[in-house]
Amino acid sequence: MAMSLGFHILFAVAGMAMPLLMVIAQWRHQRTGEPVFLELAHRWAKGTAILFAVGAVSGTVLSFELGLLWPRFMQYAGPLIGMPFSLEGFAFFLEAIFLGLYLYGWKRLSPRVHLLCGVGVAICGLASGVFVVAVNAFMNTPGGLVLEGGKVVEFDPWIAFFSASFPTQAAHTALSAYSAVSFAVLGIHAWRLRVDPHSAFHQRALEIALAMAIVSTPLQIFSGDRSAKHLAEHQPVKLAAAEAVFQTTRRAGLSLGGWPDEEARKLRYALEIPAALSILGKGSPDAEIAGLDQVPRGDWPPIAVVHLAFQLMVGCGMAMLGVCALGGLLWWRKRQFDRRFLGLAMASGPLGLIAIEAGWTVTEVGRQPWVLRGLMRTADAVTPMPGLIVPFTAFTVLYLILGLVVVVLLRAHVFDVPKSRP
C-alpha cells in the first residue's frame, strides 16, 4: 500500500497542478497572440493527458487495495468516508470530460469556451485531490461518529468530511502540488534551455513555471506554519515525533538534523534554535510543547522515520524558497537567466516531489500505531494475508514499466522541440 501510494501521489499532484500551467499558457496566447504560448498549451495538454491516464491506473489499484488489504477499516469507517470518495469520483469523471473537450476542441470550440474547458480541468483536478485529502484528514482527527460497544451507531458524514485536520491539510496539500509541479517543470525546461539557449519555447515555459513557483512556494511555507500549529493542538504526538521531543517542555527548541535515540530518549547530534518550536507550534516562546512522555511507549510512532522525513520535507521547502527568491531577483533585474541559475533550477527540480513524499511519510507514519487515530489500530484494521510478495512484486514491476513509459512519452510529446538557431 505504501509503495502504491508513493507512486500514485506523483500523478495525483500532477493532475492537480499541470492543468493550471496549460491554462496559463493558453490565456497568455489569447492575450499576446504569441504562437509560442499556444505551442506550450498544446504540449502541456498532452503532458496532462499522459499523467492523467497513468494516475487513473494507479488510483484504480489503490481502490482495490483498500478493499483487499483493509476490509476491517472499510467496514468500520466506510459509511463515514464514502461521501468524500464518491465526490472524488464525480470530480474525476468531470475532469475526464473537460480534458476530452480540451484535447479535441482546439478547432471545434470558440477560444473562450475552449479556455473555460481547461479551467474546468484545473478545478476538477484540484477538487479531486482535496476530496481524497478529506479522507486522510478524517483518519488523523476522526469526528462525527458515536460509538457504543466499539461499534459506530450514529454518524454525521459532514462532520467527518470537515474534520479538524481538513482545512490545514487540504490547503497544504494543494499548495504543495502547485509548488512541486512548478519546480519539476522549471527543472526540465531549465535543462532544455541549457542545451538550446535560444529556444523561445523553453524560455517562456521557464518564466511561467517560475512565476507559479514564486506564488505557490511562500504560500506553501505559510500553510506549513499553520499545519504545525494544528499539530500542536490536535496531534501533539505527531509533532513530538517529527521534532523528536521526548520530554514535555516549555521554550522548546526547533531541531535541525540529529538522530533520535529512543532508548536514551534524547535527540543526538542536532543543532537547536532556542524556543523556535514553541513559537512555531503555539505562537509564544514560553508555550509548552507536549512530548512523547505524554503517551505510553506502545503508542509511539517510529520516531526516526518521522523525524528524518520531517527534516527532509522542511529542508527541501526552504531550499525551494531560496531558489524562488533568487529566480525572482534575476528576472526583475535582468529579464534573463544565466547558466548558473539554470543549473541550480535543474538541481532543484525534484525537491518539491521529494518534499511531498517526505510530507506524506510524516502524515502516515506519524499517526501510527493508529489507522484511525485513537479509535482503530493499524494491526486491527489490516488483513493478515499470506503470499503478498507475489502481488507486491507484480505491481512493483508494473509501476516501473509505467514510469518508464511516462518518461518516454513526456520527452517525445512535451519537452523535445526542434532546436533553435542563434
Residue 420 confidence (pLDDT): 54
Residue 333 confidence (pLDDT): 81
The number of residues making up the chain comes to 422
Query: What average pLDDT values come out for the chain (422 residues) when binned by 10 residues?
Result: 88 92 95 92 92 86 83 81 88 94 92 95 94 92 77 79 91 95 94 87 92 95 91 91 90 88 87 88 88 90 94 94 92 81 93 94 93 89 81 86 88 68 49
Tell me which DSSP letter residue 262 carries: T
Instruction: Give the containing element (helix H, strand E) for 327.
Output: helix 303-334
Residues ≥6 apart with Cβ < 8 Å to 136 = 165, 169, 363
Residues ≥6 apart with Cβ < 8 Å to 161 = 83, 84, 134, 138, 144
252 class by beta-carbon count within 10 Å (0-12 exposed, 13-18 middle, 19+ buried): buried
pTM of the shown model? 0.92
Residue 12 CA to residue 273 CA, distance in Å, equals 35
DSSP letters of 126-183? HHHHHHHHHHHHHHHS--SEEEETTEEEEE-HHHHHT-TTHHHHHHHHHHHHHHHHHH
Placement of cell 498544446 in the chain? 42
Bridge-partner residues for 259, per DSSP? 268
Question: 14 is written with which cell numbers?
Answer: 500532477
Residue 399 confidence (pLDDT): 87
Is 81 in contact with 63 (CB distance < 8 Å)?
no
Residue 419 confidence (pLDDT): 60
Q: Which residues of 267-288 are buried (b: 16+ CB within 10 A; e: fewer)?
A: beebebeebbbbbbbbeeeebe
- Helix, strand, or coil (residue 70): coil
According to DSSP H, which parts of 335-410 are helical?
339-348, 351-365, 378-381, 389-410
Residue 150 confidence (pLDDT): 66
Question: Where do the structural domains in the chain lie, given as residue ranges?
Answer: 2-415
Residue 1 confidence (pLDDT): 84
